[in-house]
Structure 1
């Protein structure tokens, strides 16, 4: 059930099929646009997160399908090589657009002309027809992709990742709403794109409901997980030993960007509730928070540390900086449970990665998390954001320790249905459809 491409109009495309002679061809080379965050950046801080992982893993798997990928991203430090080989068949192109450092994401719209100029310069040095398709990620990239696709005469495939109207409908306390300019920009991209890729059926429905997307243009492709990296491996005890964590502790983990949208404060408040109810837990609890400030969280980078002190739980909370994929997998293995109380998630890659490592998840019942987490089987979904509700979910694991292993095993099995190979093959099918429809419309126009 988890591996498919579907049309919200009702038709269903099953598992990838062998392509026979005479069938529509896949693209040979695509331009991928990621203006505001580089696939080379460390996820978990700044603007780097699940989208970075998505772009990197998808690009590698597309290259394995003989689709060359060139990723255009903004240069954020001086002296970067103009191009970097990320993997065989995957090239990253750094584009100079605005100052290298100190530029917030909200200031990037003013640099889109410069970024577009850099993309066009790279294209101008190639033979005609060099790129078969443009795949843009996030609305800033979508505007560059819109112009590029029209200039090159190729289809535009766009992935929103997050949507302003959806985020504004579920704002966290203290978070700022997305600006009207973004809403307008997203609306324009939805109209211009040949295909829109959504992570879940709910996201696809949001595109239709909030942005009046044409249902026939929207495809659902679940993201994947790197199953070689995120796996149970040698188990919880070994991972805890490597990370210097107590072997018998109860460890609810938060991993991700520290900003109101991701709601790490909910976990801290839930832990305070647990300790108020049962002070003896203080010797058994270790609460790691792995990640760095991001978005509106950059304005108050110490807010979580101050909250932990104010709640009287600073002694059980351990703040750690973002880490690479291999060590992140160890944090997942070491945890008793991952806690993901986000206010909005288009999918929630972290939830799938943790489950792939054999760890159950307690998550907010929002966005794509009900797809990522099987409620009552691989973890618990919590409606709303009351800390007491999360405390009750965590108490289930404390009162029934066997749940950690039982749900962890189910979680690992569940996550194996989300491989990147399947996601890449399904995405390639979306590209193929977009190219076919684009050519057909071109013939009709003539």
Structure 2
């Protein structure tokens, strides 16, 4: 496999019937996050293009049920895994037979031509088992879960590490949103090849500065309040900056770090200038971005960084972490300011430039608005459609070859 985003499939491949696709996600609605948004948008695009698609996701309290989301069937499936304790092994042995029947039943009911794993976890372990049981072609998309997880599950779970290595070895295609993620999989999980399929953004939600919920001048940060996202680094740098006192920092999102961030802001005597706004809906986030002096992404690591696309879409200047996948699509000084968030002085300097330099902000906004047009969800879905067609065609050739060899015996 090459290292660039797959293009349109050849005419011979396009002429084949549209594959039936099971998108196997680590999490899905009603939960929110980058992976959930990616899979939801891809499912919607595939469905609107006429593909038969289902989402199979981990039961995180819904029970083993089938629901309809955006007109698409979503199966919430149990994924018990054994733990290191005797009690954990016993619970797994009791739960596994029923869980396995649910996964086999999902495959028999939908009859997918392709199983596409998004964000490998327990969902990936069960998808690998289903692939082995039915020989359905497997596609794996890593979203940076091996390196950008606050819980570091891959460091603690030998089962997940082994499952991912084996899945990468048997997958027809492997994709990731950035070259950074592919390189990590090659270095630590034995990946050979791989294609970059970047994230997308909904361009129909541009944002309106007149509707922002926040007054005055403010820098904006958006995301789950977890350690990897680096909001503590941003609070610390902002509190120590020489920005004009009327410039505030607004952080949108929720998560386990909220209380710590509040305490840090108070400790740095900056609580009156830092707003922890909680979670907002996508339209309100777009409006907040449109009204911001700049959007700052201070992550310790980003596999990609959809917030960058959202900032460009809303016409906000972008200050972006240089740790992870962002340097693969953000052009420093052109459509964003790349900075190491672990360097407080550099982060303060980047924010100061974004606030003080009107000409720079105008250039960043213009270039970002132009660049973001390349990152539509339709283009993402088309890249996956080419992958599916190639995987199904290859499986068909192999079945034909095996059948011919068997007849010749």
1:133 aligns with 2:133: no
Q: How many angstroms apart in 2 are the aligned matches of 1:175 and 1:94?
A: 24
> Of the candidates 30, 41, 47, which is equivalent to residue 40 of structure 1?
30
Indicate if the aligned counterparts of 1:31 and 1:131 stay in contact, CA closer than 8 A.
yes
> Of the candidates 213, 227, 239, which is equivalent to residue 211 of structure 2?
239
Residue 60 of structure 1: aligned partner: 44
1:288 aligns with 2:255: no
Residue 83 of structure 1: aligned partner: 66
**Higher RCO (CA < 8 A, seq sep 6+):** 1
Residue 164 of structure 2: aligned partner: 186
Q: How many angstroms apart in 2 are the aligned matches of 1:444 and 1:205?
A: 34
Label 1:183 to 1:373 Cα distance change in 2 as closer, same or farther (>3 A): same
Q: How many angstroms apart in 1 are the aligned matches of 2:155 and 2:289?
A: 31
1:7 aligns with 2:5: no
Give me the CA root mean square deviation.
Answer: 2.9
1:156 aligns with 2:138: yes
Residue 136 of structure 1: CA displacement?
0.9
Residue 197 of structure 2: aligned partner: 221
1:204 aligns with 2:196: no
Count of matched residue pairs? 391
1:71 aligns with 2:55: yes
Indicate if the aligned counterparts of 1:58 and 1:420 stay in contact, CA closer than 8 A.
yes
Q: How many angstroms apart in 1 are the aligned matches of 2:6 and 2:172?
A: 21
Residue 16 of structure 1: aligned partner: 8
Q: Report SS of the residue matched to 1:123.
A: helix
Indicate if the aligned counterparts of 2:125 and 2:163 stay in contact, CA closer than 8 A.
yes
Residue 212 of structure 1: CA displacement?
2.0
Q: Report SS of the residue matched to 2:334.
A: coil
Residue 315 of structure 2: aligned partner: 358
Structure 2 length as normaliser, TM-score?
Answer: 0.86
Consecutive unaligned residues in structure 1, runs of 5 or more: 1-5, 44-48, 99-106
Indicate if the aligned counterparts of 1:133 and 1:149 stay in contact, CA closer than 8 A.
no
Q: How many angstroms apart in 2 are the aligned matches of 1:219 and 1:13?
A: 6
Within 5 A, what are the aligned runs for 1:272-311?
272-274=239-241, 277=242, 281-282=244-245, 284-293=246-255, 298=256, 301-311=258-268
Within 5 A, what are the aligned runs for 1:94-133?
94-96=76-78, 115-125=99-109, 130-133=111-114
Label 1:443 to 1:350 Cα distance change in 2 as closer, same or farther (>3 A): same
Label 1:428 to 1:176 Cα distance change in 2 as closer, same or farther (>3 A): closer
Q: How many angstroms apart in 2 are the aligned matches of 1:419 and 1:437?
A: 28
Q: How many angstroms apart in 2 are the aligned matches of 1:27 and 1:116?
A: 28
Residue 144 of structure 1: CA displacement?
1.4
Indicate if the aligned counterparts of 1:273 and 1:388 stay in contact, CA closer than 8 A.
no
Q: How many angstroms apart in 2 are the aligned matches of 1:142 and 1:26?
A: 26
Residue 167 of structure 1: CA displacement?
4.7
Q: How many angstroms apart in 2 are the aligned matches of 1:271 and 1:13?
A: 37
1:436 aligns with 2:369: no
Q: Which piece of structure 1 moves more, 329-338 or 50-59?
A: 329-338
Indicate if the aligned counterparts of 1:24 and 1:432 stay in contact, CA closer than 8 A.
no
Consecutive unaligned residues in structure 2, runs of 5 or more: 81-88, 404-409
Q: How many angstroms apart in 1 are the aligned matches of 2:13 and 2:249?
A: 57
Q: How many angstroms apart in 1 are the aligned matches of 2:45 and 2:58?
A: 23
1:324 aligns with 2:277: no
Indicate if the aligned counterparts of 1:364 and 1:385 stay in contact, CA closer than 8 A.
no
CA deviation profile, 1:307-349 (whole Å, cap 9, x unmatched): 0000110001111222221112112212211111112221111
Q: How many angstroms apart in 2 are the aligned matches of 1:227 and 1:22?
A: 30
Residue 103 of structure 1: aligned partner: none
Q: How many angstroms apart in 2 are the aligned matches of 1:387 and 1:396?
A: 14
Label 1:414 to 1:196 Cα distance change in 2 as closer, same or farther (>3 A): same
CA deviation profile, 1:50-95 (whole Å, cap 9, x unmatched): 11110011111111222121111233345x793332224x221223
Indicate if the aligned counterparts of 1:31 and 1:135 stay in contact, CA closer than 8 A.
yes
Q: Report SS of the residue matched to 1:416.
A: helix
Q: How many angstroms apart in 2 are the aligned matches of 1:320 and 1:13?
A: 36
Q: Which piece of structure 1 moves more, 49-58 or 185-194?
A: 185-194
Label 1:167 to 1:93 Cα distance change in 2 as closer, same or farther (>3 A): closer
Residue 419 of structure 1: CA displacement?
0.8
Indicate if the aligned counterparts of 1:82 and 1:94 stay in contact, CA closer than 8 A.
yes
